[in-house]
Structure 1
Amino acid sequence: MSTQRCAVIGGGAWGTAIADRLARNGHTTTLWAREADVVEAVNTRHENPRFLAGAALTPALRASSDMADALDGVGLVVYAAPSHVLRPVVASGASFLPAHAVLSVATKGIERETMALMTDVVASAAPGHPVVAVSGPSFAVEVAAGQPTAVVAACADADAATLVQSAMSAPEFRVYTSDDVTGVELGGALKNVMALATGILDGLGMGYNPRAALMTRGLAEMTRLGVALGARAETFAGLAGLGDLVLTCTGALSRNRAVGVAIGEGQTLEEALAGKESVAEGVLNTQSAKALADRVGVELPIIDATYRILFEGRAPRAAISELMARELRAERD
């Protein structure tokens, strides 16, 4: 594996874990963060207590709040900023990107205003570079702890996908490649909505039967929308679809599931989100997914029900009853 000069843009938990992984792989890596306390902690104490508490980072990783400094001479850039600020963050550094740089985006989401996938946001804000989507079942704290993890790097440019695969892969971090960018990105975004919905069930005190039904039918909805938008159905049976769905719907570390649990227990959306340092992307993704489905005419009953609970004040138990009372049909419809 040849070493790269790398930058990771976004000092949250996931960005920090990726930057640590790249630095441990021998790449000269800079983590860009806007928060001064994050930069200071990474550089002096080799930790990020604000977003990734308890993780010991390699001393080889350095941090900077200067975008030009972070991007100087890089061959690979990984963007990990939240979806709602990704476009301005990418644009702010576009003029500093070397012409040869390969761009990658580890943010999972759909831009609410434009319905654009994250790779399209990056390509629009920093044109002229291949853009690789990285997605899959990967809690940041477990990646930082060296837990065995597998993800997907997707790009129409096979060389760019292979470069990301080579740069990130390690004995404890396995990266597969794909050319189905739409499927990989939608899987990563839509599973957050299903994690919210699963959390609501758990908050209501429901059992394993409803959870299994929701996850299975939720995967059918994810696949249905993905195929309508040009993705391949089989992608949703892989790491970026089923794999990430299982993780975020069942894992206690899932922020989206935790917000759903709070709502199921009776909190409002505003109360459930109050005081949260990290973003629960599923809230934004619920709005975007519904808008995308309305645009292409795809039926997504679980996502619609989640939208009504989050934004229209529908009682969770009433929404569940409405789902169960829908017209009977064949499973493969």
Structure 2
Amino acid sequence: MSPRDYILRVQNLKVDYQTFRGDVHAVRGVNFDVTRGETLALVGESGCGKSASVKPIIGEDANNEIIREGKIIYRWQHDGRTEDVDLLKLTAKEMQSKIKGRQIAMVFQDPMTSLDPTMRIGSQIAEAVSSSHPKMLKDEVNHRVEELISTVGINRVKTVVRQYPHQLSGGMRQRIVIAIALAGDPQLLICDEPTTALDVTIQARILDIIKKIQKERNLSVIFITHNLGVVATIADKVDVMYAGKVIEAGTAEDIFFDPRHPYTWGLLSSVPDVDGKKENLPMIQGTIPDMKKKIIGDAFAPRNKFALTIDFVKEPPMFTVSDTHSAATWLLDKRSPKVAMPDALKQRIVKMRGEE
């Protein structure tokens, strides 16, 4: 990828959280790029560092958070020029006034944590619009509020404007949160498990809305999820995370049809096949390592039935599979024994490709 293609570049990000039992090394050197107009999905089990990797992008810092190292380069287009800015070097005031909401916005899992239960929906969206566009007249703000509500697929605009959050369904509330996120015309939208609490039908509608808005605005999206079905629906690129690091990265096609890391094999194998026979799904045995302790070798080694001796001694680098695909596993070293993905997963991929 050429330097001019990206809107965001995260480089060697390391984030700790201080606790009374010791520092938790939540992010241990994460690297990823986001291209303008594309969706990058961050995938992995709970506790793998997905949310901790993206919250510094928008300045959502916890009181006990320490950013040990790294850069977050945002390519900012303003006043007819393009400028690269390291977001980690901006003050909290600069992040609030220049970046948050205006350039980068975030949608969280639970809309009720983002909405004020005592304010009408219209007033909450109007507040976001006025904050991002302080020179707008009241009539212009009201028009923009109605436009945003319509943009997220709500037809009863006049009614919804006067309602309170508790009067809306979960899916409707999440649409309002997306509308608020779009109020400042951001270039990058971060979605942190925004459909997890919704049923499958509403989930599909929310994903369709995000894809539609993305296409209309050439919006870049970072989508955090553990749901591989969602990833297949929305992602252009996928970064699989484990124990605070990206351990496989590629296009959605790379990850779903040519996975190379044993952890990715495990994730894909554990997804129910709706067209298949009833069977016990394989599980990834064990749990993620204690992130307060120093990890020696490959963090996944204790759970990896394909682990080599070197996995317990030395951390694997990211091996290049193709121009778009890489994975951090010693199985890709030319000196390692040849280990193929499980037959059941291979058969599933053949079926997904329609090659049966």
Q: TM-score, normalised by structure 2?
A: 0.28
Structure number, greater radius of gyration: 2
Higher strand proportion (structure 1 or 2): 2
Larger helix proportion of the pair: 1
TM-score normalized by the length of structure 1: 0.29
